[in-house]
Amino acid sequence: MTTTTRTIRDFAEIADLIAAETMVTTDSFSAAFEGAQETSRMGFGEEELTADMPDATEAQLATEMLVRTMFDVLRDTRLESVAARLAWGIVHSFHKVADQLDGEADRAAVKIKDLVHSADGSEVMMGELEEAQLLCQSLDEAREAVACMRDYAAATYLAETGRPWSSPKGSLVSSKRTASVIAAQDFLAARRMRKAEAHAPQGPVVVFSGGQVWEDHALLTETLDGVKARIPGMVLATTAQDKGCDAIAAAWAAKSGTMLIAFTLDRRLGKRAGFARNEQLLNLRPVEAIVCEGSGLQSHLAREVRAKRIPARFFALKDQRTAQAAA
């Protein structure tokens, strides 16, 4: 019997070895895992923690390995076809936890607001307020870190599948307002502003819409590259279909690091839902539009774009180079 001796390394050492060869820590991981707070608290009544945030490089590497290893293990096996589904679930787990942390932070923010309104200047009340603020800050910090991991996992999923990952969705100061209360008010205001900016990204909007059948990916990505070169800070707004032109545009946005706003249909509006979505897109006051031939909704959007004299590129199915080659 042959005895095999293995040297077991912990993950941190393995991560250091791999990182030294291949890994460059992204700015997003460096920012999300910097740990600006000296202490943290993850629940009401829990003790303060003085532990550091995870190492940014190790977190980035672990996130990539979680997704990429699934494809590597199942590649060229009879289970290869389910790898994408399993990897989608891994990304979704990050998304779900980030969403849960966001909800917990929102509830902590409500607690802060209630304490601010009832602040009486007592030592006990100020202690509760500071505890609630630390909890909210800690949950926000954790949410940002997990969301960063989700985004990197989604980018790995895109690299493996060629498809983007998508989810299933100040007042007057009175004598009773101590420094803790004022700091809490400032904190709440800053938190509201950060959340508003995340859901309403600033930048020139480029509208994109097209049908669900499209073969010439390069035609669309080259066009988007050209727009990005002219408008580096562009925000891409699409009609959020999960295949065809919109899926190509979403994949391009993920790869190029372009902010994407996906406008889904409001099914409550019935037959008018598609036209209402077109109105939403146009209400963004886009600086440019790209419309590809599809259904009557794309025809309607194209007419409205022309009527509003928005600079635009229009593509018909026959414009595809694959179609021209076949002809």
Task: Read off the pLDDT of residues 135-150 as tens digits, 9 standing for 90 and up.
Answer: 888 888 899 899 889 9
111 and 38 share a domain?
A: yes
Give pLDDT tens digits for 292-316. 998 899 999 999 999 999 999 999 9
Residue range of the domain that includes 223: 205-326
The length of the chain is 327
Instruction: State in Å, rounded, how far the first CA of the chain is from the last one.
Output: 68
The reply to whether 56 falls in a domain is yes
| Domain stop point among 199, 234, 256 | 199
Alpha-carbon torsion, ordered 295, 300, 305, 311, to 10 deg: 20
pTM value > 0.75? no
The reply to whether 21 falls in a domain is yes
187 and 247 share a domain?
A: no
The reply to whether 252 falls in a domain is yes
| Domain stop point among 168, 199, 230 | 199
The reply to whether 4 falls in a domain is no
Report pLDDT for 40. 84
The reply to whether 3 falls in a domain is no
Structural tokens at position 285: 């006051």
- As a whole number of angstroms, the distance between CA 170 and CA 222 comes to 48
167 and 134 share a domain?
A: yes
* Pick from 280, 257, 59, 66: nearest CA to 149: 59
The structural domain count of the chain equals: 2
Report pLDDT for 42. 85
54 and 142 share a domain?
A: yes
Q: In what order do the strands lie in the sheet with 312-315?
A: 259-262, 235-238, 205-209, 288-292, 312-315
The reply to whether 126 falls in a domain is yes
The reply to whether 60 falls in a domain is yes
Q: Given phi > 0 = left and psi -120 to 50 = alpha, else beta, which region is 234?
A: beta
- As a whole number of angstroms, the distance between CA 320 and CA 253 comes to 21
257 and 184 share a domain?
A: no
The reply to whether 190 falls in a domain is yes
Report pLDDT for 282. 92
68 and 172 share a domain?
A: yes
113 and 45 share a domain?
A: yes
Task: Give the CATH number for residue 246.
Answer: 3.40.50
Contact yes or no for 317/324 (Cβ under 8 A): no
152 and 220 share a domain?
A: no
23 and 159 share a domain?
A: yes
Structural tokens at position 267: 């099914």
Phi, psi of 250 (to 5 degrees): -65, -40
| H helix and E strand count, the chain | 11, 5
Amino acid sitting at position 194: R
155 and 223 share a domain?
A: no
91 and 220 share a domain?
A: no
- As a whole number of angstroms, the distance between CA 281 and CA 275 comes to 10
Chain centre distance of CA 244 = 21
Chain centre distance of CA 179 = 35
Report pLDDT for 61. 92
138 and 244 share a domain?
A: no
Report pLDDT for 127. 79
Question: Tokens 């508003």 map to which residue?
Answer: 196
Per-position pLDDT tens, the chain of length 327: 455 444 444 545 544 544 444 557 778 888 888 877 788 888 877 788 888 999 999 999 999 999 999 999 999 999 999 999 999 999 999 989 988 998 888 888 888 888 777 766 677 777 788 888 888 888 888 998 998 899 889 889 988 988 888 776 633 233 333 444 445 566 566 666 666 666 566 789 999 999 988 989 999 999 999 999 999 999 899 988 878 898 899 888 888 888 888 888 888 888 888 899 999 899 889 999 999 998 899 999 999 999 999 999 999 999 998 655 555
* Pick from 114, 146, 121: nearest CA to 42: 146
